[in-house]
């Protein structure tokens, strides 16, 4: 979208109101039709050169006016029927008349915002706007944003468990034979799918300050159960568990980091790399890094960073190296074909 100035809001208006005026005009002119996606908070921040909080305020204002609405895994779109002017919008219901406001609805709305626009775009006011309730209503259910994020994480981790992925006679038979490696693979891939679905998950919690939410412990219990019973002392067993988790989490965190970087710089990953081509060429031509120069020079169209492929490569390498530790010396397993 191209930023519009002039008629789109008075010059003295705050930045968020000028953004609102521009998007409102595009909707009124039919340039954005019902169901069309409107710019996300990241796109607004990049295109208008404003902070994510300002971009969030602009979208929240448009939602409160009834001009846009959020749709899960799609983002913010033009509402199905748009009012002719903000003055004709339906007011948010008063706190004592809110229909069926529940903690579950609040958490689901917050997850939808984080999925579509990133964790930085999340606010208690934004959640209330998405639900069409008074701004302070959500505080009757959740004390604040920090507590809400914990509830969101627990809900997201609970959407899928390793046990769900192993339903069926074939998986049950394989695990009955004590195949710890197969169980670990299922657990790691289940977590990876959840991080792929909710990239913001990897931005909360760390190895040193882990999230203590029940549904994350469901995944931890699965991994520990897969490793238990092989004669490992408790410290070694938990070290292996942490190492495997750090592989999944450590790669996943880059998905949300890249999204934030794109919003800040206004450049995609490829565009950013293209802009750094002169620096890269200088390093390659310096003669100081011959192996780096040889490897980078061998790529016909540059290096393609594939997180899914790196996840699988790292998982196989870890499990190959851990096999003699878990099963005893002489039990190392060579690398096999990548799973489909």
Q: Which residues pair with 313 in a beta bridge?
A: none
Give the mean pLDDT of 71-88: 59
Q: For every residue of the chain, which 3-state class applies, written as one string?
A: CCCCCCCCCCCCCCHHHHHHHHHHHHHHCCCCCCCCECCCHHHHHHHHCCCHHHHHHHHHHHHHCCCEEEECCCEEEECCCCCCCHHHCCCCCCHHHCCCCCHHHHHHHHHHHHHHHCHHHCCHHHHHHHHCCCCCHHHHCCCCHHHHHHHHHHHHHCCCCHHHHCCCHHHHHHHHCCCHHHHHHHHHHHHHHHHHHCHHHHHCCCCCCCCCCHHHHHHHHHHHHHHCCCCCCHHHHHHHHHHHHHHHHHHHHHHHHHHHHHHHHCCCHHHHHHHCHHHHHHHHHCCCCHHHHHHHHCCCCCCCCCHHHHHHHHHHHHHHHHHHHHHCCCCCCCCCCCCC
pLDDT (tens digit per residue) in 170-212: 444 456 556 899 999 999 999 999 999 999 999 998 889 999 9
Please give the Cα distance from 73 to 91 (Å, whole number): 27
Of the listed ranges 196-205, 299-308, 319-328, the least confidently predicted one is 299-308
Q: At how many degrees (to 10) do helices 214-227 and 180-197 cross?
A: 160
Indicate the pLDDT class of residue 94, thresholds 50, 70 and 90: very low
Residue 194's φ and ψ, nearest 5 degrees, are: -65, -40
Q: Which contacts (CB < 8 Å, 24+ apart) does range 10-13 have? A: none
pLDDT at 7: 40
In the chain the first and final C-alpha atoms are separated, in Å, by 38
User: What is the predicted pLDDT for the residue at 18?
Assistant: 87
Dihedral, CA of residue 135, residue 42, residue 260 and residue 145, to nearest 10: 0
Q: In this model, does residue 149 exceed pLDDT 90? A: yes
141 or 47: which leads in pLDDT: 141
The DSSP 8-state label assigned to residue 47 in this structure reads H
- Its pTM stands at 0.68
Name the helix (H) or strand (E) containing 78: strand 75-78
> What's the pLDDT tens digit per position in 98-141?
458 999 999 999 999 999 888 888 999 999 989 989 888 999 99
Please, which pLDDT band fits residue 313 given cuts at 50, 70 and 90?
very high
Write down the pLDDT at residue 236.
95
In this predicted structure, what is the pLDDT of residue 10?
55
């Amino acid at each position: 979208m191209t930023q519009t100035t002039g008629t789109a809001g008075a010059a003295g208006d705050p930045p968020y109101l000028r953004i609102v005026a521009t998007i409102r005009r595009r909707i009124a002119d039919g340039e954005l039709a019902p169901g069309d996606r409107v710019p996300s908070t990241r796109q607004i921040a990049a295109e208008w050169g404003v902070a994510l909080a300002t971009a969030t305020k602009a979208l929240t204002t448009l939602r409160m006016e009834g001009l846009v609405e959020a749709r899960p895994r799609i983002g913010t779109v033009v509402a199905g029927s748009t009012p002719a002017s903000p003055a004709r919008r339906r007011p948010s219901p008063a706190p004592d008349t809110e229909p069926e406001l529940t903690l579950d609805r609040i958490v689901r709305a917050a997850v939808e915002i984080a999925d579509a626009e990133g964790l930085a775009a999340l606010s208690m006011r934004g959640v209330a706007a998405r639900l069409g309730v008074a701004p302070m209503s959500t505080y009757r259910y959740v004390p604040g944003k920090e507590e809400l994020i914990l509830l969101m994480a627990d809900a997201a981790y609970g959407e899928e468990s390793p046990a769900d992925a192993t339903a069926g006679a074939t998986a049950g038979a394989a695990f009955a034979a004590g195949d710890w490696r197969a169980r670990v693979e299922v657990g790691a891939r289940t977590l990876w799918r959840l991080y792929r679905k909710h990239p913001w998950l990897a931005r909360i919690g760390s190895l040193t300050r882990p999230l203590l939410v029940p549904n994350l412990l469901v995944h931890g219990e699965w991994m520990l159960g897969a490793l238990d019973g092989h004669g490992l002392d408790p410290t070694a067993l938990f070290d292996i568990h942490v190492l495997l988790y750090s592989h999944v989490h450590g790669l996943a965190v880059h998905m949300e980091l890249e999204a934030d970087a794109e919003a800040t710089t206004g450049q995609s990953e490829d565009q950013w790399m293209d802009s750094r081509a002169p620096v890269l060429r200088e390093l390659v031509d310096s003669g100081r890094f011959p192996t780096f120069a040889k490897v980078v020079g061998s790529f016909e169209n540059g290096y393609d960073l594939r997180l899914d492929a790196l996840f699988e490569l790292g998982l196989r390498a870890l499990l190959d190296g851990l096999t003699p530790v878990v099963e005893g010396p002489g039990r190392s397993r060579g690398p096999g074909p990548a799973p489909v």
